[in-house]
Amino acid sequence: MKFFLLLSALGLCWAQYSPNTQQGRTSMVHLFEWRWVDIAQECERYLAPNGFGGVQISPPNENIVVNNPSRPWWERYQPISYKICTRSGNENEFRDMVTRCNNVGVRIYVDAVINHMCGEGGGAGTSSTCGSYFNAGNREFPAVPYSGWDFNDGKCKTSSGGIDSYNDAYQVRDCRLVGFLDLALEKDYVRTQIANYMNNLIDIGVAGFRLDASKHMWPGDIKAVLDKLHNLNTKWFPGGSRPFIFQEVIDLGGEAITSSEYFGNGRVTEFKYGAKLGTVIRRWNGEKMAYLKNWGEGWGFMPSDRALVFVDNHDNQRGHGAGGSSILTFWDARLYKMAVGFMLAHPYGFTRVMSSYRWPRYFVNGQDVNDWIGPPNNNGVIKEVTNY
């Protein structure tokens, strides 16, 4: 009995930090912009036999359709509703993917965009992936529904309404990140809409969430949403299992907000990992692999059991987000393989491998002007992943 109590206490403590993977599976792969039908096949054909723990998928909820530029990858970070309806597939295809992946022991983690809706300049109409009407100017998203009351417009104190300084935690959390309509997560109504969305996904069988733009939400507001979440579906998970949570917080030091503020809610992305590993493997700043002896906390990283780590992510492989020029990507194939191999072999953090697509890079004044290009497609429809 005592032993059982100890085990369940340990289980509870571990809760949202555990990826809910099968025994011995220590890594997930981000299948960036893949379709659900392709992911289902990939789980069965490749990921399960090769020991992958799970897949991070692109946001599954309805988003704005951007035509200028033409269907950029980043349109998926501008929600219109919580209907499961995107270029990756519809709700039936999503359910089939989750079922088939879980059946072969591969977990699905959803990229949850809950900090905001579309940009302030998103216009009005039905230019959305499921055709839901919205009016960004009036803050109307009837397919949720959200209205003017549900946004932080009155709370932000900058004259632009946007984040002018990352040194002010209030601005970062209450103002608009590059113009996105910022949801008022302090409101129980908003928390409930978000929790309903996430609970729908949990009931379908997902194992956890990446919380996009967590730095731009108050840790207490995130906790209030998480407290409303169901336990995982007992068809595949032990009773009482909690969703795995990893929060996207970029903390390279020197800003008002630190990763540690979010440890209570779940794991946090450790952006120092890829930035430093890139520096070492490129042998910049006199670094060398021998110095990796005390890799991990010894390098000033967060505690291993709070960290979600990666060599590159969908942002910094194309010059978005943060990390700087040391980040290794598939464009530096040999060094990239060394970095990914090292990461997978090393015990620090829970690891995530990146699977993306090639795009025609074109640099103007050091900036890739093609950083927006979406996945391979036919007139906007994502192409089937080639079966090699």
- Residues identified as active-site: 212, 248
Please say which residue, 75 or 150, places its beta carbon nearer to ligand AAO. 75
Considering the complex, what minimum distance in angstroms separates the CB of residue 160 from ligand AAO?
Answer: 12
Burial class (CB in 10 A: 0-12, 13-18, 19+), 343: buried
- Degrees to nearest 5, angle at CA 163 with 157 and 165: 95
Closest by Cα among 301, 303, 299, 300 to 291: 299
β-partners of residue 328 are none
Q: Is 151 helix (H, G, I), strand (E, B) or coil?
A: strand
Closest of 347, 355, 338 to residue 294, by C-alpha: 347
Measured from each CB, the residue nearest to ligand AAO is 119
Q: Provide the minimum distance between the beta carbon of 214 and ligand AAO in the complex, in angstroms, as a whole number.
A: 7
Q: Looking at beta carbons only, is 41 or 78 nearer to ligand AAO?
A: 78
- What is the smallest separation between the CB atom of 62 and ligand AAO, expressed in angstroms? 14
Q: Which is nearer to ligand AAO, 130 or 163 (CB)?
A: 163
Q: What residues are paired with 140 via a beta bridge?
A: 135
CB of 237 to ligand AAO, least distance (A): 27
Distance CA 324, CA 330 (A): 16
Distance CA 201, CA 261 (A): 26
**Minimal distance, residue 264 CB to ligand AAO, in Å:** 19
Nearer of residues 100 and 215 to ligand AAO, judged by Cβ: 215
Least distance (Å) from ligand AAO to the CB of residue 236? 28
Q: How far is CA 329 from the centre of its chain?
A: 18
Contact 182, 224 (CB under 8 A): no
d(CA 216, CA 198): 19
Is there a contact between 191 and 147 (Cβ–Cβ < 8 Å)? no
Residue among 43 and 307 whose Cβ is closer to ligand AAO:
307
Q: Are the CB atoms for 19 and 29 separated by under 8 Å?
A: no
Instruction: List, in sequence order, every residue forming a beta bridge with 268; answer none if it has no partner.
Output: 247, 307
- Closer by beta carbon to ligand AAO, 100 or else 173: 173
Q: Which has the closest alpha carbon to 79: 125, 172, 161, 143?
A: 143
Contact call for residues 209 and 198 (beta carbons, < 8 A)? yes
Which residues form the interface with ligand AAO (CB under 6 A)? 74-75, 77-78, 113, 119, 121, 166, 177-180, 212-213, 215, 248, 250, 252, 255, 315, 320-322, 324
